[in-house]
A and B are shown apart, each in its own frame.
Chain A
Amino acid sequence: MKHLVLGALFGGALAAPVCAEITLSIGYLRVEQPVPPTLSNLDPIPESNGLAGAQTGLADNLTTGKFLGQKYELTVAEVYEGEDPLAAARDLLAASPYLVIDATPEDITAIADLAEAEGAILFNTSAGDLALRDAECRGNLLHTLASDAMRTDALAQMLVKKRWDDLVMITGTHPADISYAEAMRRSLTKFGLSLEAEKEWAFDADMRRNASQEVPLFTQDFGDYDALIIADEVHDFGRYVLYNTWEARPVVGSEGLSSVGWSPVIEQWGAAQLHSRFEEEHEREMTAQDYAAWAAVRTLGEAVTRTNATNPETLRAYIMSDQFELAGFKGRPLTYRNWNGQLRQPIAIAHPRALVAQAPLEGFLHQTNELDSLGLDRPESNCEAFQ
């Protein structure tokens, strides 16, 4: 296990004219997850994925705090394979009731159920699973990462808008692929679409050499369709499907046209400034998980700025209230759903070179907030912990 404290360092660099009156400590727990092997090594997952976003959020909070006599510090714990994530979580929670978590859904719920986590504010920044926002939700757990359902709903809106309603899907075998495919089927049903055919990707050959021979044959019996959905969340095979399909049709989903919580191609709404701040500090592009961790740390910062308090009861009440709004560089104020703790946010529909659209798309109406057309809406969610 590795511990390090950031913030003291930042605080020094920003030596404030005002005496610090209050300090908010935030814990950051990263539980290392084994990365499944993929065919290509073109896009390695950065080691600081998530944590780097939390650090940029901390720097933003510190700059604001220096004018108000408010300080922030981030204590980071990393847990490697074979070590006990719960022990590390207990340590962090003993020091601060604010914990940003990068772990599997199972670890996240186990941490939320710890006696030490009672009354704490935990942030899920790594798991898009629907269950965590549904029956498996926890009252002390907020989600800044967009759920899989929000992302697939966004894509389904795009498919409806483009009238691509004759759809087929290829699904990988990793649990993340299966979970994404499940969310996609749900979204298609929600928006009145359906799949004409579905196939499982079960090749064990090296597709870097065989894609041009195998993929046309593999996709030939789909017949004609409007768009091919790829469920390959670990980015194993999907990249070899593009431009190799039997029919010349767009590829959407995990590859091609994707719906994502954050992307370097988002330029509008001041996003270019967040990118440049982040890239200057970390020398790489900002991922969706970095964004989720940034939003978690900034949520706490915003609540401290507005309430001048550091106790979790006051901060939680403010975060869940109508007064709270986070300027998240997506063109709208971001707020939390008071039925399951999910951060409401627009979803980018993008390819690697440009933003194509931003959901909710025009025309998808909602009785209270169009953003709630994405993900589990109040009547759909079986979460009871927030009642």
Chain B
Amino acid sequence: MIRLTAMFSLLTSTAMAGEIWVTNEKDDTISVISTETLEVIKTYDVGERPRGILFNSDFSRLYICASDSNAVQVMDPNSGEILHELPSGDDPEQFVLHPDDRHLYIANEDDAITTVVDVETRKVVAQIDVGVEPEGMAVSPDGKIAITTSETTNMAHWIDTETQELFANTLVDSRPRHAEFIKDGAEMWVSSEIGGTLTVFDTATQSEKAKMSFEVQGVHPDRVQPVGFEFTAGDTHAFVALGPSNHVAVVNAETYEVEDYILVGRRVWHMDFNEDRSMLFTTNGVSGDVTVIDVEKREAIKSIKVGRFPWGAAFRPTGS
């Protein structure tokens, strides 16, 4: 007990103030968790079936994919007020904000389309044909490339953000779910849920550089399904949600080897870090909670009950 308290106070003393915002897919709400107290401090009503969630670069705006409302909602995170909706195309699931803070790239899951929206003019700038069931979205740090992964076509589609056209399509394993650029954009990673793999692409050549698979003791390989993933400070390690295996894997981003597995809640889906990346918050859809992981110790330290079917997570600092 004493040891636990000591560990906890150590964590809180190093962690800066901030919040993790979690979309609850089956409750049409957002839960706001304090990264200091590790408790839900607010719950907001939003549109139907909220999934993708992200802040703009100065955290003054929150964007929410309200999938069944067929809209992206824009919220003032300080007041919790929905300011307006953006045209998003049908069934927006995931999205990414271009570094220019102006262009949202949105995956329209039902329509095999990626929609590009200007958040200032609130107009659709482009619609790009992609594969069946687009989902994972990423944009390179220099803003030149956007990625859409399509779940049934099993591809990463490479979009030139200048022309808003595809310039490459690369096959990955079954049901690609999430994509991220790392190492200043030199590498692009894609998770494949049914394939059970994580593929690393060399951005310059769009060629496959490495592929990782996972093995959780006591869980059939079919049920080890990588979905969301995020990188620690300096992009040294990736934490990878493995869906219904109820584990998060820790992957070394230099050697491409799996180093650890951490037991979390049921059907772990997406995640985000606190400000100094000492804590990771994972959304666990089936158990309806968020697991807090101590990044250094690679241990789950707390479960926080949120709404039904938590899906996405996004961090914002609140100053100390």
The answer to whether B223 touches A63, judged by C-beta atoms less than 8 angstroms apart, is: no
Known: A60-B132, A327-B174, A370-B220. A332 touches B194 (CB 8 A): yes
Contact with A along B6-48 (1 / 0, CB 8 A): 0000000000000000000000000000000000000000000
Contact B151 A327 (CB under 8 A): yes
Contact with A along B166-202 (1 / 0, CB 8 A): 1001010111000000000000000001111000000
Cα of A277 to Cα of B169 in the assembled complex, Å: 23
Q: Which residues of B contact A67 (CB under 8 A)?
A: 131, 153, 155, 157, 166, 169
Interchain nearest-CB distance for A266 vs B (Å):
15
The distance in angstroms between the C-alpha atoms of A63 and B153, with both chains bound, is: 7
Q: Is A208 an interface residue (CB 8 A)?
A: no
Q: Report the separation of the CA atoms of residues A64 and B172 in the bound assembly, to the nearest whole angstrom.
A: 12
Cα A233 to Cα B152 in complex, Å, equals 32
Q: How far apart are the CA atoms of A27 and B244 in the complex, in Å?
A: 38
A300 to chain B, nearest CB (A): 14
A residues within 8 A CB of B129? 14, 66
- When distances are taken between beta carbons in the complex, the residues of chain A under 8 Å from B155 are 64, 67
Give complex CA distance A66, B129 in Å.
10
Enumerate B103-135 residues with CB–CB distance to A below 8 Å. Answer: 109-110, 112, 129, 131-133
Q: Which of A17, A276, A306, A331 has the most CB of B within 10 A?
A: A331
A24 interface residue (CB < 8 Å to B): no
| Smallest Cβ-Cβ distance to B165: which chain A residue | A17
Considering only CB atoms, which chain A residue lies closest to B223 in the complex? A332
The answer to whether B132 and A332 have CB atoms under 8 Å apart is no
Cβ-based interface call for B81 (8 A): no
Does B222 sit within 8 A of A, measured CB to CB? yes
- Judged by a CB distance under 8 angstroms, whether B283 is at the interface is no
Q: How far is the CA of A332 from the CA of B154 in the complex (A)?
A: 15
**Given the known A-B contacts A67-B153, A273-B109, A305-B171, are A325 and B132 also in contact in the complex, defined by CB atoms under 8 Å?**
no
Q: Who on chain A is nearest to B267 by CB?
A: A268
Report the minimal beta-carbon distance from A67 to chain B, rounded to whole angstroms: 4
Q: Does A46 contact B (CB under 8 A)?
A: no
Count the A-B residue pairs with Cβ separation under 8 angstroms: how many? 66
Per-position contact with B for A311-325: 1 when CB-CB < 8 Å, else 0? 000000000000001
In the complex, what's the smallest C-beta–C-beta distance from A140 to chain B, in angstroms? Answer: 26
Residues of A within 8 A of B223 (CB): 331-332
Q: Contacts of A327 on B, CB cut-off 8 Å? A: 151-152, 154, 174-175, 193-194
A270 close to chain B: CB less than 8 A:
yes
Q: How many of chain B's residues touch chain A, expressed as a range? A: 20 to 34
Q: Which of B110, B132, B195 contacts A63 (CB 8 A)?
A: B132
A276 touches which one: B110, B157, B166, B244 (CB < 8 A)? B110
Please state if A325 and B133 are interface contacts (CB–CB under 8 Å): no
**Closest chain A residue, CB of each to CB of B196:** A333
Q: Which residues from chain B contact A369 at a C-beta distance below 8 Å? A: 220, 222
Cβ of B154 and Cβ of A325 under 8 Å apart? no
- Asked if A178 CB lies within 8 Å of chain B CBs, one says no
Report how far A365 CA is from B198 CA in the complex, Å.
28
Of residues 346 through 387 on chain A, the ones whose CB sits less than 8 Å from some CB of chain B are 369-371
Whether A270 pairs with B154 at a CB distance below 8 angstroms is no
B136 to chain A minimum Cβ distance, whole angstroms, is 13
Give the chain B neighbours of A14 by CB distance below 8 A: 129
What residues of B have a CB within 8 angstroms of the CB of A20 in the complex? none
Q: Which residue of B lies closest to A17 (CB)?
A: B166
B residues less than 8 Å from A280 (CB atoms)? 110
User: Quick check: is A68 within 8 A (CB to CB) of the other chain?
Assistant: yes
What sequence of 0s and 1s flags, for each residue 81-93 of chain A, a beta carbon within 8 Å of any chain B beta carbon? Answer: 0000000000000
Interface residues of A in 256-295 (CB under 8 A from B): 270, 273, 276-277, 280
Contacts of A17 in B (CB 8 A): 166
B174: which of A276, A277, A333 is its contact (CB, 8 Å)?
A333
Is the CB–CB distance between A270 and B151 below 8 Å?
A: yes
- Which chain B residue lies CB-closest to A331? B244
User: CB distance B112 to A63 under 8 Å?
Assistant: yes
Closest to A368 in B: B220
CB pair A333 B131 closer than 8 Å: no
A contact residues around B131 at 8 Å (CB): 63-64, 67
Given A67-B157, A333-B222, A273:B194 Cβ within 8 A: no
Q: A63-B132, A327-B154, A327-B194 are in contact. Are A306 and B171 (CB under 8 A)?
A: yes
For the complex, what is the distance from the CA of A379 to the CA of B87, rounded to whole Å? 57
Q: A277 contacts B110, CB within 8 Å?
A: yes
Inter-subunit contact B195/A64 (CB<8 Å): no
Neighbouring B residues of A326 by C-beta, 8 Å: 174
Which residue on A lies nearest to B244, using beta carbons?
A331
A277 to B132, CA, bound (A): 10
Nearest residue (CB) in B for A344 is: B222
Contact B110 A64 (CB under 8 A): no
Residues B244 and A333 in contact, CB atoms below 8 Å apart:
no
A333 with B195: in contact, given A60-B152, A67-B131, A327-B152 (CB under 8 Å)?
A: yes
**What is the CB-to-nearest-CB distance from B137 to chain A, in angstroms, rounded to a whole number?**
16
Which residue of B is nearest A276, CB measured? B110
Knowing A60-B132, A63-B131, A327-B174 are in contact, say whether A332-B152 is a contact too (CB < 8 A).
Answer: no
Known: A64-B154, A325-B195, A332-B223. A270 touches B133 (CB 8 A): yes
Task: Name the residue on A nearest B110 (C-beta).
Answer: A276
B194 and A325 form a contact (CB under 8 A): yes
In the bound complex, CA of A184 to CA of B279 (Å): 52
CB distance from A276 to the nearest CB of B (A): 6
Q: Across the interface, name the chain B residue whose C-beta is closest to A328.
A: B194
* A332 touching B175, Cβ below 8 Å: no
* Complexed CA–CA distance, A325 and B222 (Å): 11
Distance in Å from the Cβ of B130 to the closest Cβ of chain A?
Answer: 8
| 11 A-B pairs with C-beta separation under 8 A | A14-B129, A60-B132, A63-B153, A64-B131, A64-B152, A66-B129, A270-B133, A270-B175, A273-B133, A332-B194, A371-B222
Residues in A lying within 8 Å of B, measured CB to CB: 14, 17, 60, 63-64, 66-68, 270, 273, 276-277, 280, 305-306, 325-327, 331-333, 369-371
A64-B155, A66-B129, A306-B171 given; 6 more Cβ-contact pairs under 8 Å:
A327-B152, A327-B174, A327-B175, A331-B223, A333-B222, A371-B222
Q: Top 4 A-B pairs ranked by shortest CB distance?
A: A67-B169, A64-B153, A327-B174, A332-B222
